[in-house]
Amino acid sequence: MSPKMSVKGIVLLVVILLLAVSSSYAQLSSPVKLYLGGGPGIQHKPPVFSDWYKSGRHVTGGIGYSLMPMVELVGTAEHHGFSNKIDDAIGGTLEGAKINTTLFGLQARFVPSLPMVPIKPYGLAGVGMAMVKQSDFVWKGEVKIGTAAYWEDKLSLEDQTKLYYSIGAGVNYSLIPKIGLFFEARYINIKIDGANTVFETPLRFWAVTGGIRVL
């Protein structure tokens, strides 16, 4: 090989190495990630929740910090809403009685070490506080089974703030440097106080989320 070609080869090698190092440095110098997403919520328990409420919707946002190569901590804020279908069972038309939950929590995401591939799976576990509210009951038409007062007494939830936990799994997909997509499914358990009502067990539901990840 001629000296001229050798110099070109060395220059090209140095450029490649510099690009690789700068790319790695950019990744290491940006431990913070921003998440924004949403999707459906699927009610599970107690039976009155799964039988008398419709699947809901939610929005969520988070700020993540890479604590170590395989562990990321994510502070989250999210809102879930579930409309009722109670009137289908007891007659009359019920507007309102929507269950809204606003969650503030902390997730630990465990990302296995994989080769440089665009799709990376992860598992997660989270804990935090949930604010649970139910909108007012507004009846239109005649209640055919029981009375409106009876059902309001049985189905009402007091506004409350309770501990929740979540577990789940998902995948990150890198679109371009510093921007990607994420998809995940979580099971959320809220320890509500439903004494003397049909909400006698924790509020449990699935959240299926898709969204964008930045940085």
Question: Is 86 found in the same domain as 26?
Answer: no
Question: Is 100 found in the same domain as 156?
Answer: yes
The secondary structure element, H or E, covering residue 5 is helix 3-28
Question: Is 191 found in the same domain as 105?
Answer: yes
Q: Which two tokens stand for residue 143?
A: 């209640």
Place of tokens 């990607």: 180
pLDDT band at residue 52 under the 50/70/90 scheme: confident
Q: Which of 137, 44, 136, 58 is nearest to 101 (CA)?
A: 58
Question: Is 79 found in the same domain as 11?
Answer: no
Domain region containing 23: 1-30
Question: Is 89 found in the same domain as 175?
Answer: yes
Question: Is 111 found in the same domain as 195?
Answer: yes
- Using the predicted structure, report yes or no on whether residue 89 has a pLDDT greater than 70: no
Whether residue 139 contacts residue 94, with contact meaning beta carbons closer than 8 Å, is answered with yes
Least confident interval from 53-57, 68-72, 84-88: 84-88
CA geometry: angle at 29 spanning 10 and 107, to 5°? 140
The secondary structure element, H or E, covering residue 149 is helix 148-155
Question: Is 146 found in the same domain as 90?
Answer: yes
Question: Is 119 found in the same domain as 16?
Answer: no
Question: Is 10 found in the same domain as 52?
Answer: no
How far apart, in whole angstroms, are the C-alpha atoms of residue 107 and residue 122? 12
pLDDT tens across 147-194, in order?
778 778 777 888 889 999 999 999 999 888 889 999 999 999 998 876
CATH of the domain at 136: 2.40.160.20
pTM of this structure = 0.79
Question: Is 121 found in the same domain as 110?
Answer: yes
Q: What is the pLDDT averaged over residues 86-90?
A: 70
When divided into structural domains, the chain yields a total of: 2
- Using the predicted structure, report yes or no on whether residue 21 has a pLDDT greater than 50: no
Whether residue 213 contacts residue 194, with contact meaning beta carbons closer than 8 Å, is answered with no
Count CB neighbours of 70 within 10 A: 12
CA geometry: angle at 54 spanning 60 and 168, to 5°? 40
Please measure the distance between the N-terminal and C-terminal CA atoms of the chain and give it in whole angstroms. 43
Question: Is 25 found in the same domain as 64?
Answer: no
Question: Is 114 found in the same domain as 79?
Answer: yes
